[in-house]
Amino acid sequence: MNSKEKILDLEEFIRIREQLKAEKKKLVFSNGCFDILHKGHVDYLEKARDLGDYLVLGLNTDASVKRLKGDQRPLQDQDSRARVMASLEFIDAVILFDEDTPGDLISAILPDILVKGNDYTLDNIVGADVVMENGGKVETIPLVEGYSTTSIIEKLKN
């Protein structure tokens, strides 16, 4: 499957979600901006995928990134970021979302496992309550020290 085919809208993904449920496969969900892909992202997402059978990535749209990170971001447009993320073999699908948080997306797909980095705690992970109320789990994954998009941008500026 080429990377373009892995970029789906919610309606397309809901059909896949039903199939995964019927096959009793575990759906893992994570999300982010992924403006500059780096080693920390790859490590985190590989570990996320290892928790289940299918990894779907919620990707912030350009408008959403701009609201969250400021007018200088994103550095790469949403189509570019989606294609790069979809090209990773351990990501099964990418869904763009325009809201400030992935709460609505999480509620719509109800993943079996919701994953965030360990810079988050259970009480500040958006969607954790919905996932757990529906029998799912929330996992945090240790981040690779010294890797962040913000630190890469700062290095480039200097």
Residue in the block written with tokens 């400030």: 100
Q: Per-residue confidence at 120, pLDDT binned at 50, 70, 90?
A: confident
Instruction: Please state the rounded mean pLDDT for residues 11-33.
Output: 97
| Total-model pTM | 0.92
pLDDT at 153: 58
Q: Residue 105, SS3?
A: helix
Q: Is 146 exposed, middle or buried (0-12, 13-18, 19+ CB in 10 A)?
A: exposed
pLDDT exceeding 90 applies to what percent of the chain?
Answer: 80
Q: Is the peptide bond before 142 cis (omega within 30 degrees of 0)?
A: no
Instruction: Give me the architecture of the 3-157 domain, per CATH.
Output: 3-Layer(aba) Sandwich (3.40)
pLDDT at 148: 65
Q: Is 135 exposed, middle or buried (0-12, 13-18, 19+ CB in 10 A)?
A: exposed
Question: In the predicted model, is pLDDT for residue 36 greater than 90?
Answer: no
